[in-house]
Amino acid sequence: MSSPAASLAIDAREVAKTFRSGWFRPRTTEALRGVTLEVPRGAIVGLLGPNGAGKTTFLSILATLLIPDRGSARVLGLDVVRDSLALRRRLNMASGRPSFLWSLRVAEIVAFYGRLYGLSGSVLRARVDRLIEEYELTPYRRVPYSELSTGLKQRVALAKSLVNDPELLFLDEPTLGLDPDVSVRVRAHIAALRRERGMTIVLTTHYMREAEELCDDVAFIKAGRILDAGTPDELKRRIGLGDVIALRLEPTAPAWLATAAGVLRCTTNDGWTECTVDEAEKRLPDLLGRLQAEGVTVRNVRVREPELEEVFVELAR
C-alpha cells in the first residue's frame, strides 16, 4: 500500500458541479468547472478564493454532502459517491457559521453526534469530556446552544467535528468572526491536530495570514477553477510580485534606481523610496553598494516580502 495514490488523502480529478435552482424559471450556477487537486496524507491544505468561487461546494463534495456532476474524487482511498457510507465514518467537517439544535446543551450536542458515530458508555463520556476540556468549554457544558457567543459556537462545532477522531477534517472558514485572541488559539489547535494526530486537514479561509501560518500548500480557486496551487512561497514567486525594498535616502533617490538590474518599479512615498525587486536578497547588496559609492546616505532600510494577500488580489482580479 505504498503506491502514490495510497498516500493521498484526496485525489480529485476534474470535479464539476452545476447547481440548478428554481422550479418554474430554473437558474443554473456553474459552481465547479473541473477541479483537480491532490492532497497528501497528513498535510494541511488551504483553499483560497473570492466569494462564490466554489470552495464550500468543493469541500461539500469531498465530504459526501454533495454529489458531483462530473469527475471523480477519491478520499482516503474511497470513492466519494460509491463508498460514501464507509467514508463518512472517517471524516468530519466544521464550518465557521455553525448551527446546531438551539435548545440542546453543549455536552448533549457533542454526545449526540458521538453516538451517531458509534460511541457509547464510558468511551463516549471520556471523548465528550476530553473535547469539552480541549476547547475550553467546561464552564458552558450545560449551556443551551442558542445562548452561546459566536466564538463558543465555533468551538462547539470544532469539538463536534473531532468526536469520531477523523483521519480527515474539513474546516470551512474555521475562524470566521472570531476575535484575534481566540483565532490564534483555534489556529494553534488546528496545527496541533496535524502534529499530534497526523490528521489531514483541508480548510478554506479569507485570512491570508491564517493560510500562510497553517497551510503547507494553498490552492487558489476562482469561478470554479483552480488557478494555481503550491506552497505560499512558490505562489508568490510564480505570481512575480517581488519583494519590496523601502529606503530612506538623503538627499534624494538617484534616477538610475528605477532602472537598476532586478528592479521592477520604484515609487516615492512619504520620504520612503519603495523599490519592488525580483529578489531582495540578491539585489540589496548591489543597490546599497552603488548608493554608497555615489555618496547617497541610506538612513533606513526595510525589506518586505509580498503578502499572500497581494497574491490573492492579483489572482482574484
Partner 1 sequence: MSWRADALAVWAVVVRNALMASRNVFFFFELLFWPIVGVLSIGLMTRFLGLTPAQTSFVLIGTIALSVVNVCQLEVAYAVLMDVWAKSIKHQFLAPIGIRHLTIGSWLVGMVRGVALFTLLAVLAWWAFGFRVFAAGGGPVAVFLIGCFLNAWIVGVFVCALITLFGNRAEAFAWASVNLVLVLAGIYYPVSVLPPPAAAIARAIPLTYFLDAYRAHFGFTSEFAAPIATGLGLSVVYAALAHLAFYSCVQRARRTGLLLKMSE
Ligand X SMILES: Nc1ncnc2c1ncn2[C@@H]1O[C@H](COP(=O)(O)OP(=O)(O)OP(=O)(O)O)[C@@H](O)[C@H]1O
- Chain residues binding Mg ion by CB under 5 A are 56
Applying CB under 6 A, which of residues 37, 39, 55, 114 lies at the interface with ligand X?
A: 55
Contact call for residue 96 and ligand X (CB under 6 A): no
State the minimum distance, in angstroms, from the CB of residue 37 to ligand X.
14
Of 32-40, 99-107, 224-232, 275-283: span binding partner 1 (CB under 8 A): 99-107
Q: Of the candidates 21, 122, 252, 269, which one interacts with ligand X according to CB under 6 A? A: 21
Q: Is 194 exposed, middle or buried (0-12, 13-18, 19+ CB in 10 A)?
A: middle
Residue number, 123 or 313, with CB nearest to partner 1: 123
CB of 112 to ligand X, least distance (A): 25
Give the shortest CB-93-to-Mg ion separation in angstroms: 12
- The site map against partner 1 for 151-190 (x = CB under 8 A) is ---------x------------------------------
Pick one of Mg ion, ligand X, partner 1, none as the site partner of residue 99 (Cβ within 5 to 8 A by kind): partner 1
Could you tell which of partner 1, ligand X, Mg ion, none binds residue 54, using a CB distance below 5 to 8 A set by kind? ligand X
Q: Which of 52, 139, 240, 289 binds ligand X (CB under 6 A)?
A: 52
Which residues bind to partner 1, rule: CB under 8 A?
17, 19-21, 56-57, 60, 63-67, 85-86, 88-89, 92-93, 95, 97-104, 108, 111-113, 115-120, 144, 160
